[in-house]
Structure 1
Amino acid sequence: MKIAILGTRGIPNHYGGFEQFAEFFSVYLVEKGHEVYCYNSHNHKFQEKTFRGVNILHQHDPEYKYGTFGQFIYDYNCIMDSRKRNFDIILQLGYTSNSIWFFLLPKRKSIIITNMDGLEWKRTKYSKPVQQFLKFAERLAAISSHYLVSDSLGIKKFLKEKYNKESTYIAYGAHPFTNPNEEILKIYDVQKEAYNMIMARFEPENNLDMVLEGVSMNEEKTTILVVGNNNTKYGEYLKSKYKPFSNIRFMGGIYNLEHLDNLRYFSNIYFHGHSVGGTNPSLLEAMASKALIAAHNNDFNKGVLKENALYFSNPEEVKNILLTIKKNNNLHFVQKNFESIVEEFNWDIINGKYLQLFEECVSGHKARN
């Protein structure tokens, strides 16, 4: 098959979950003998024409100049380019800024499969008008794609109830981490199980403030590493608010997966504050890294972690977790989550499910035509 991946800033990953998936899945498809193209921003750090056999198509992306509006122009450029290439399948990752161009997609030549991501319009970082637009965009994507993918059972149920559209449930994946290297901790000036950690984009619905408030309330000043790009308005607010607390260390973005795996593995508690969306990639990676997880108490997180985590809903509960919980006393949680990665969420299984869906879609499409 000739396959395109659209809707990310590009590969190799220097940004987030969809980019990580695009990197792993595109390479997997090439290894299975398919011809794969991934769209990249023109200013992506990687400027080569191919990446591990994947063809890279750089398109102009003016987000650096126009902010969010630039994403719409980038997606327009990607979609217009896709019209010339006779792809068998175009996989769209998300719908936020590409759905308004649905009428330009080459739907007669290509099968359009869209991963619907989370419920974007619920994100509190967006104003009411933007939330209304995202609801509209979600509807456009749901009704204009040939096939839909849900990354959680909650999203699958929502799409059926809201739009009467069936979707295929395929979660994200993670690689089981089996080679810890304590030497890496020296780079970050921390010691085994003597620090905690939280990793997220700096957005209100990821509850960084809730976790850090609980940390600041705790008299015991264990270091917490706060990982994520903090050069944002919200990031500046949090850095200013928690500047008096030397144990709260804002690390910026860390994209070296070996380093992240080791930091998670050797941490005492890994906090996961995400409250909106489907199966979150960083949560699966924490499970795969054998971290002890304390997660925000919501259905999305519980759907993945089940009873194998600690849960919090406010800063006071975060404070109590910090006071009473040690990783060594909760290794049964760690092992159960690791087994879930091996048996359900590992990349080989996830990539295989996507490829199976593609093959079924092509077969079904040919049968109808």
Structure 2
Amino acid sequence: MKLNIAILGTRGIPNYYGGFEHISEYVSAGLVKKGHAVTVYNSHNHPYQEDSWNGVNIVHCHDPEYKIGTAGQFVYDFNCLRDARKRNFDVILMMGYTSSSVWGSFFPKQSTIITNMDGLEWARSKYSKPVQQFLKYAEKLAVKYSDFYISDSIAIRSYLADRYNIESCYIPYGAEPYSDIEREQVDPDTFKKEDYFLLMARMEPENNIETILEGFNASNSKKSFKVLGDTSNRFGKYITNRFQNDSRIDFKGGIWDNAKVRALQNHSYLYFHGHSVGGTNPSLLEAMASEALIAAHNNPFNKAVLNADAFYFSNANEVRELVETVQRKEPEINMVKNNLHKIEDVFNWQNIIDQYEAFIFDCYCSHHEKQVALNRG
């Protein structure tokens, strides 16, 4: 059976923003290859302006966020839903709930609604207390108005079961192993192998960027520290100002050239992953796939992915100790190899796409049978 599927809740594809856009790229194109009709909703001011991408239908909806700020996200999601109601989709896959679940009563009744429940948005420290309270409410609405649920982390799945007594399907993100072709694309003079530390993240407090750089700043390391991420926001400006006197710290800005990012990860001496809120993070999987040695913030989300194959830190002193003591010998080489095996066996994109298709199909059939039974009754 071939389904008509829509993906809502992202800024659009191809990815110029973050995690949900990243997975929507792969899943939408993968489902098209399997014969399904797939539509992804894009912001009208997305850099990609064509009506299709790799066989995926693109619908551009007005997004006033650039004019009115955060409130524009709610308007954009409403505009996407208003269009989706006209198209009779079999399944609507909602990526997150932050600005969409308030429109839950407006979700198309004829469609099976599956929501990827995101990673505890209300716990993000960048939000004020009132915003955190609203996000808890939005999470509750997403549970109420969705028919089925996806968790991209085992920790999120456990949280949803405990908090709402609902069953969600665990499907993580994926990544592709670092290929020989990608290695050959890099100018050998561009990066010195294992000459620098690296982190890649959005400039947000919960990503522990300040903790990581504070630890490095206090260290006696002669290596440089490259920071990838757009620093134009308030926190980014604060961070660059705070560490401007440490000439070893190099703020590279946002880099969207995937080959360059992967080369930077592959060549790093130690890759710091500071994300503390959320599910399975795409940049962590990319680092694993790029054969980086990883030091991660000590939390259940990261440990569920990395297990014993990483170093962990909780504060700046522990970062400093890692910077000054981590070696690149046989145990560390084995950690890198073990993480690559996880990518090949568990977190590979074809496996993820297959899981999405199977779950979407099961949800549609279950929901359809339920609707038929209700109509008979």
Letter in 2 for 1:36: V
Matched, 1:316 2:328: no
Question: How far does residue 246 in structure 1 lie from its aligned partner after superposition?
Answer: 1.3
Match of 1:169 in 2: 170
Letter in 2 for 1:116: M
SS of the aligned residue for 1:8 comes to coil
1-structure distance, mates of 2:177, 2:4: 30
Equivalence map 1:279-358=2 (5 Å): 279-329=280-330, 330-358=332-360
- The answer for unaligned runs of 5 or more in structure 1 is none
1-structure distance, mates of 2:188, 2:103: 48
- Structure 2 vs 1, CA of residues 183 and 110 (structure 1 numbering), >3 Å: closer, same or farther? closer
1-structure distance, mates of 2:327, 2:58: 45
Q: CA RMSD in A?
A: 1.2
Matched, 1:277 2:275: no
Letter in 2 for 1:258: A
**Please, which of 66, 80, 95 is the counterpart of residue 97 of structure 2?**
95
Contact between 1:196 and 1:268, CA under 8 Å: does it hold in 2?
yes
**Please, which of 36, 39, 42 is the counterpart of residue 38 of structure 2?**
36
Contact between 2:101 and 2:142, CA under 8 Å: does it hold in 1?
yes
CA displacement 1:295-330 (0-9 Å, x = unmatched)? 001111111100000001111111111111133441
Count residues in correspondence: 367
- Structure 2 vs 1, CA of residues 50 and 182 (structure 1 numbering), >3 Å: closer, same or farther? closer
Question: How far does residue 268 in structure 1 lie from its aligned partner after superposition?
Answer: 0.5
2-structure distance, mates of 1:290, 1:111: 39
CA displacement 1:92-145 (0-9 Å, x = unmatched)? 0000000100111102x1000000010000000000000000000000001210
- The answer for unaligned runs of 5 or more in structure 2 is 373-377
SS of the aligned residue for 1:327 comes to coil
Letter in 2 for 1:110: S
How high is the TM-score relative to the length of structure 2? 0.95
SS of the aligned residue for 1:112 comes to strand
2-structure distance, mates of 1:280, 1:239: 24
2-structure distance, mates of 1:220, 1:263: 19
Equivalence map 1:2-81=2 (5 Å): 2-81=4-83
Matched, 1:247 2:248: yes
How high is the TM-score relative to the length of structure 1? 0.97
Question: How far does residue 186 in structure 1 lie from its aligned partner after superposition?
Answer: 6.1
Contact between 1:159 and 1:165, CA under 8 Å: does it hold in 2?
yes
SS of the aligned residue for 1:9 comes to coil
Contact between 1:6 and 1:38, CA under 8 Å: does it hold in 2?
yes
Question: How far does residue 153 in structure 1 lie from its aligned partner after superposition?
Answer: 1.2
Letter in 1 for 2:92: I
Equivalence map 1:111-150=2 (5 Å): 111-150=112-151
SS of the aligned residue for 1:181 comes to helix
SS of the aligned residue for 1:4 comes to strand
Letter in 2 for 1:319: R
1-structure distance, mates of 2:327, 2:165: 46
- Structure 2 vs 1, CA of residues 197 and 185 (structure 1 numbering), >3 Å: closer, same or farther? farther
